[in-house]
Chain A
Amino acid sequence: MSQIKTIHNPIGSLERFLDLLLISLIVYMTLKGGTSGACAACKYQRRRCAADCPLAPYFPAEQPKLFQNVHRLFGVRSIVKILENLDELQRPEAMKSIIFQSYVRDRNPVHGCLGITQQLQYMIWVAEEELKAVNSQLQLYRSGQNHPMMIHEIGEKQEDLDLGMGLPVNNNNQGNNTIPFFSPVSETQQQQPHMSYCSDQVNNHDYNPIPDSCKEVLNNHNTSLAWGQNQFPYNHHNYGFINQNEHCSETKNNNSVMAIQSQLVNLQMASNQQEEEVDDQNYDEIHQFLEIIDESQSFTETKEVYASSSGESLKEPIDEIGEKELRRAATCFSLTSVN
């Protein structure tokens, strides 16, 4: 009996050893990127994900939607070609911008990033107009202080004038009117292309939509704004963002007295809310891909502003901002003539 026991024990331990070996092999294969560890790109294309797969670093398997967006807009061949022409250091940044662009196109199939660009230019215009108005009021006050008798007249005006609608702002809380906040890029990489394509139907307004500050900023990078100038369908007299584009036509009915600051914050909140509606899991990690480019040291602020997970941190400031802005706007616009 004891002899049989001694024979069985080595076999049992050998079996256990083989089991352990098999398990460790399976785990190793999984970690190495075997069939169950393929990147999202290879999974989508149903092919084996090689160890040197060029897309694997940018498309983790847990986020298939990211790759689907990119594939739908650019296609694998185009991305690989773009990556091949870039340095190693530039590739992560390029992929981030490609993923962002595809994400935006998925959210807004008609306008994509151009829609965001136009919205931002509009916001800049609104902010500049508001700044001009506030500065002119400041001038009034300052001149009133130099001439004390005028203070009385200004005070009377303040009581008499009704609060108007004030400057139009684009309260983009509907539909696809959200601006994902892309972190700033390196100073050396900013270029603005010369664009020449425009729709004749859109280019039917006289108002030059490009704010001076915007022009200056973009012209500093030796570019022209032919595209933007032709594509800016502002109707100055209605103070609205009148556009043939659907998403903007919704917003012209949403003028409010909220200033640009709360508008921007609302946009981000709406963006966060919309993201929650669509598919949180796939887009949760997109913020990782929108990290600061090159100037990596100091942009934790902007990350916090953008991250949907930090929605709580935005709540209090947003409430304060909303109240402050209303109060400010009320004071500000009480002295402006109603246009």
Chain B
Amino acid sequence: MSSSSYSNYTNSPCAACKFLRRKCSSDCVFAPYFPPEEPLKFANVHRIFGASNVSKILHEVAPHQREDAVNSLAYEAEARLKDPVYGCVGAISVLQREVLRLQRELEETNNDLMRYASCLGGETSAYGGRRG
């Protein structure tokens, strides 16, 4: 088995080229981000977004951002497979509601604190007056 034409990172083709059953060249755009140990990662991304779309996205972002881009795509692909209706957007709405809930709770608690603080302000001035 010749390994010279395979990816420059490992001796085996990357998960993408394995999935697509093609030669993994040294300049394969997928190779750094889809290691052969994680075949499901590329499979999910390919199923939802398609290899060509992913390739275009990778070429559009800067090289140092590609890993983050791939990971976010993998996350979204897996989310979409688990929940075909809402995908990762379902989680966003859950979190947004949580933020709103905490916001409300914080406001109520701060109102309580303001009430105590105003009471304290009155008493403190009384004490300060006595001391002075």
Contact of A151 among B56, B88, B90, B123 (CB under 8 A): B123
Asked if A197 and B61 sit within 8 Å, CB to CB, the answer is no
Complex: A259 Cα to B109 Cα, angstroms? 13
Complex: A332 Cα to B81 Cα, angstroms? 45
Q: Is A55 an interface residue (CB 8 A)?
A: no
Complex: A332 Cα to B96 Cα, angstroms? 25
Asked if B114 and A158 sit within 8 Å, CB to CB, the answer is no
Q: Is B48 an interface residue (CB 8 A)?
A: yes
Residues of B within 8 A of A300 (CB): none
Q: Is B26 an interface residue (CB 8 A)?
A: no
Contact of A182 among B47, B92, B128 (CB under 8 A): B92
Q: Is A250 an interface residue (CB 8 A)?
A: no
Asked if A154 and B120 sit within 8 Å, CB to CB, the answer is yes
| Minimal beta-carbon separation of B46 from chain A (angstroms) | 10
Residues of B within 8 A of A313 (CB): none
**Beyond A192-B94, A193-B79, A328-B114, is A199–B120 a contact (Cβ under 8 Å)?**
no
Q: Is B29 an interface residue (CB 8 A)?
A: no
Q: Mark B42-69, 1 if CB is under 8 A from A, else 0.
A: 0000011110110011001100010111
Asked if A331 and B102 sit within 8 Å, CB to CB, the answer is no
Q: Is A173 an interface residue (CB 8 A)?
A: no
Asked if A86 and B84 sit within 8 Å, CB to CB, the answer is yes
| Minimal beta-carbon separation of A301 from chain B (angstroms) | 10
Residues of A within 8 A of B10 (CB): none
B31-50 with Cβ < 8 A to chain A:
38, 41, 47-50
Asked if B90 and A197 sit within 8 Å, CB to CB, the answer is no
Q: A127 — nearest CB in chain B belongs to which residue?
A: B102
Complex: A213 Cα to B47 Cα, angstroms? 33
Complex: A134 Cα to B85 Cα, angstroms? 39
Q: Is B93 an interface residue (CB 8 A)?
A: yes
Q: Is B106 an interface residue (CB 8 A)?
A: yes
Q: Mark B69-98, 1 if CB is under 8 A from A, else 0.
A: 101111110111111111111111111111
Complex: A151 Cα to B125 Cα, angstroms? 11
Q: A91 — nearest CB in chain B belongs to which residue?
A: B85
A71-85 with Cβ < 8 A to chain B:
72-75, 77-78, 82, 85
Asked if A124 and B102 sit within 8 Å, CB to CB, the answer is yes
Asked if A116 and B49 sit within 8 Å, CB to CB, the answer is no
| Minimal beta-carbon separation of B88 from chain A (angstroms) | 5
Residues of B within 8 A of A158 (CB): 120, 124
Complex: A327 Cα to B104 Cα, angstroms? 17
Contact of B76 among A94, A112, A218 (CB under 8 A): A112
Q: Is A298 an interface residue (CB 8 A)?
A: no
4 shortest interchain CB distances as A-B pairs: A155-B124, A141-B116, A120-B95, A127-B102
Give 13 new A-B contacts, CB below 8 A, not counting A110-B61, A120-B95.
Answer: A73-B57, A90-B85, A127-B103, A137-B113, A185-B86, A189-B83, A191-B86, A193-B75, A193-B88, A195-B78, A197-B38, A244-B68, A259-B110
In the assembled complex, 8 residue pairs joining A and B whose CB atoms fall closer than 8 Å, in A order, are A73-B49, A124-B95, A127-B99, A135-B109, A155-B123, A189-B85, A218-B91, A264-B99
